[in-house]
Amino acid sequence: MTPSSRSAAPLFLGLDLSTQSLTALALDEGGEVACHRSINFDQGFPSYGTQGGVILDPADPTRIHGDPLLWVEALEEMMRGLGREGLLSRVRAVAVSAQQHGTVYLKPSFAETLLSLAGKGPLKEQMAPTLARRTAPVWMDSSTTKECGEISEALGGDAAVAALTGSRATERFAAPQIRRFFLTHPREYGETGHIALVSSFITSLLAGRIAPVDGGDGFGTNLADISRGEWSPAALDATAPGLLKRLPPLVPRDAVVGPVAPFWTERFGFYPEALVVTGSGDNPCSLVGLGLLENEHPGGISLGTSDTFFAYRRKIPSGERTEGHLFGTADGGFMALLCFKNGSLTRQHVRDTFGLTWEDFSDLLLATPPGNDGKGMIPWRWPEITPRVLRPGVRYFGGLAPDDRAGCVRGVAEAQACALRLHAQGMGPLPESLLVTAGGSENAGLLQILADVFGVPVRTIAIRDSAALGAALRAAHLFLKDQGTPRSWKDLASPLAGPFSSEVRPRPHASELYTRPGGFLELYGREERRALEALGEA
């Protein structure tokens, strides 16, 4: 390919709106990355007053929201930059990845506004009048315990809710959040004509029409019957009246929403016939970006704002389950997932407490002994998701002191790795290898601990933003299918998901120390159960 033809080659764009930033990643037809840009919300838009991309409520630490207008402004700023570089004219398909579970409440005028987006004036000024609720509860919000109990009781208990919707009633999910809004703000709920997830909200802006939600995000709402791939009447009735008409359509697998809206073409030079693909959650997109779709043997771990463990499942796993989640995937399969809220922000708190850099943090992990001489911590600095903990607090055991720098650094990382393994055991067979992504995947010490605790090779890929990469691959997959030249998921992902940028192998003596009877895994599990019993959560 000549330089001139390369400069005009078609691109496939993935946009990932995470908790803290908006990332754009574009691939060409050969799988090469043509652009990779990020905008940090706190740094790029300080006027919104976010901390870590979210709005904290000093009076209620369980209430954590995002600002839809910030997301809108960031999207327009990203498009302005990509258009200025001449990249948007080459984009043939675009797909959105977004933080899961956040709900955006919009007036009936939202649909009409989308159809008539004006080419003048900031997009956020056009969207502001359409918001029925000024802010959006996001995945970190845990203010809906009462509503979770009400939904669970109505549907027959936690196990019944998990069997129907893929998860027990969960505080951050759309159903309890919508129910709380309906109960506490009935007038505003009555003025709400459409409730979007973050992914479908951003996709709607790109397409200029109400976009559906896919199974990857829609199954993370406590509102869908995952065995049928449609909204569940029973779950809707347990949540709020008149809910079905307020929700986007649900499509179990990837689909084309339509062409990009003229607004983006006229203002930023977007290719007018570019396809907009159904948006999805960041975790299902990471599954695609890591090359795990349709492959049940490896597992994935994302070391980001939250830590997550995930694996592909062709069918709904058998057996009763109240922990973890099942989401849909781009191919119509399922993704088993565990989410731990105390991820990178908890590690960062330990790092900052002792005035360390991330390099210092990694060096200490590599220099300290596996098992930390029996000293450990339960690092629930925030309300935890897995296991469910609503009253957080850091707990120390085995003689670990809060001022022990090396002990606390190893303690937090070891606790998080042990929790990942212990709870992953309830989601099916443990993986034969692990692919690790997000910011923590650059930390050699964290990777070694994961390899030792799981006893399997741990690999990373060169592209850290697996969610944005997965969105770009989803865009490419549907475009090529639409053009009559389909390619398999494995064929699309293989140039990017491998060869691996690094591989860390488990150390036999360390793995044996964790997994032997009476080893550190057993010790951590016992201390976690004690902590839950003390809180009345067990």
Could you read off the pLDDT of 487-500 as tens digits, one per residue? Answer: 988 888 876 655 55
Residue type, 376: G
Task: Report pLDDT digits (tens) over 506-516.
Answer: 999 999 999 99
Tell me how far CA of residue 7 lies from CA of 176, 445, 492, 508, in angstroms.
Answer: 48, 40, 21, 49
Angle, in degrees to the nearest 10, between helices 344-353 and 358-367: 90
Position 496 scores a pLDDT of 66
Residue type, 165: T
Task: Report pLDDT digits (tens) over 194-218.
Answer: 999 999 999 999 999 999 999 999 9
Cβ atoms within 10 Å of 136's Cβ, excluding its own? 25
Q: Is pLDDT at 6 greater than 60 in this prediction? A: no
Alpha-carbon distance of 227 to 238, in angstroms, equals: 19
Q: Give yes or no for a contact between 221 and 230, defined as CB atoms under 8 angstroms apart.
A: no
SS3 readout for 325-375: EEEECCCCCEEEEEEECCCHHHHHHHHHHCCCCHHHHHHHHHHCCCCHHHC
Q: pLDDT class for 538, splitting at 50, 70, 90?
A: low
Q: pLDDT class for 391, splitting at 50, 70, 90?
A: confident
Q: Kindly list the strands in the beta sheet with 55-56, ordered across the sheet, starting from the edge strand earlier in the chain.
A: 55-56, 64-66, 136-137
Task: Report pLDDT digits (tens) over 239-276.
Answer: 999 999 999 999 999 999 999 999 999 999 999 999 99
**pTM, rounded to two decimals:** 0.85
Q: Is pLDDT at 289 greater than 60 in this prediction? A: yes
Task: Report pLDDT digits (tens) over 41-93.
Answer: 999 999 999 999 999 999 998 999 999 999 999 999 999 999 999 999 999 99
% of the chain with per-residue pLDDT over 90: 77
% of the chain with per-residue pLDDT over 70: 96
